[in-house]
Amino acid sequence: MSQGGMLSGVRVLDFARYIAGPYCAALLGYLGADVIRIEKPGGSEDRFVGPVSPSASAVFLETGCNKRGITLDLKHPDAREVVRRLVADADVVIANMPPGALARAGLDYESLCAIKPDIILTTQTGFGHAGPWRDRGGFDGIGQAMSGSAFFSGQPGQPARSATPFADFGTAALGAFGTLAALYERRASGRGQHVQAALLGTSLAFFNAALIEQAVLDLNRVPSGNRGQTSAPTDIFATRDGHVLTHVVGNGLFKRLARVVGEPGWADDPAYASDQLRGEARDAICGRVAAWCAERSTDEVLDALAEAGVPAGPVLDFDAAVSHPQTQAMGFLQPLAYPDLDGAPPVARMPLDFSAFQPVQRRAPTVGEHTDEVLAELGYDATAIAQLHAAGVV
């Protein structure tokens, strides 16, 4: 089945679970690729972590978008022929497994190339494909912890991981980016290749500036929670009815902020003459801004800062994040109904806009929803499909 779109005619097999692999595949689906999710009979694990319906988790409702779903017991000996036919008709295979598990499933690059020489395999692992931890499984928070991010995001003696799984989603985006590059290169050379991403690599790349600074300057910074250290005022401040976050970098923004909070003299104070100096004086600066915010409502603070051209935003709870006027105006969250779920939950669309293309957005598939359809496309007739069901292969 081909869809209209930038990747129309590209078929992707998604053997992945949870976020880094599935969201990589979903991103390709937004661009029009025909993405087929392969999961075990009864549904795979990522459907049932934090379920919001009998057959879907909140994560799956996002990462399962724009896919057709089939079930297949990869441990059944008759599944190998189904996999062979799927791969022979595909352009990309996505699987987030350590190298050893990939080989045991017959989804390693050498095995796939034996079926289709120009196949592109995109894998996501916890720690990479080499080194002593290559075969260990990993999750987002482990990448955060090993990059220095969790150490620096908390308070002294109290490291904190981000509730946002940035290592997972970042690895997914980088995997999609690498897959697009491999497809582009294959168009010129005819060669496929193995694209490899890792949660640890993504986390280290995202937090790299702090690691570079430490290596060069040996500053041995200690964490300070929400308060920034390389400029000021960057922090979360309490208002009369909530909280706001400001992020002030550069002399121009600092001068505007100083006028707003009634401290115009800061602009000419040599102690505050650069981002570095302001970062060192952060407690004094943030203390004054905190006092100014505490006397005002959130809307009053945000309006005053916006009028002065100082970036700031409210700290929103879940309901407010969904209903915020800017979120609504951009349509970043789309109501997307799911068969065994009442109502239509807000599912994030692809957060990219194109001047001449509208990304696809279809709901995640139910368990095995398209199994018979896909098998028929692979050349199985009704009798053969019934036999596969009877044998527990699908």
Catalytic residues: 168
Phi, psi angle pair for 60, to nearest 5°: -65, -35
Distance CA(367)–CA(47), nearest Å, equals 9
Residue type, 341: L
Sign of CA dihedral 181, 184, 185, 186: positive
Sequence-separated (6 or more) residues with CB below 8 Å from residue 88: 115, 116
| DSSP structure string for 38-106 | EE-TT--GGGSSSEEETTEEHHHHHHTTTEEEEE--TTSTTHHHHHHHHHHT-SEEEE---HHHHHHTT
**Number of C-alpha atoms within 13 angstroms, CB side, residue 302?**
15
DSSP string, 227-253: --SSSSSEEEEE-SSSEEEEE--SHHH
Q: Cis before residue 233, ω within 30 degrees of 0?
A: yes
Q: What is the largest CA-CA distance in the chain?
A: 84
| Residue 291 CB neighbour total at 10 angstroms | 11
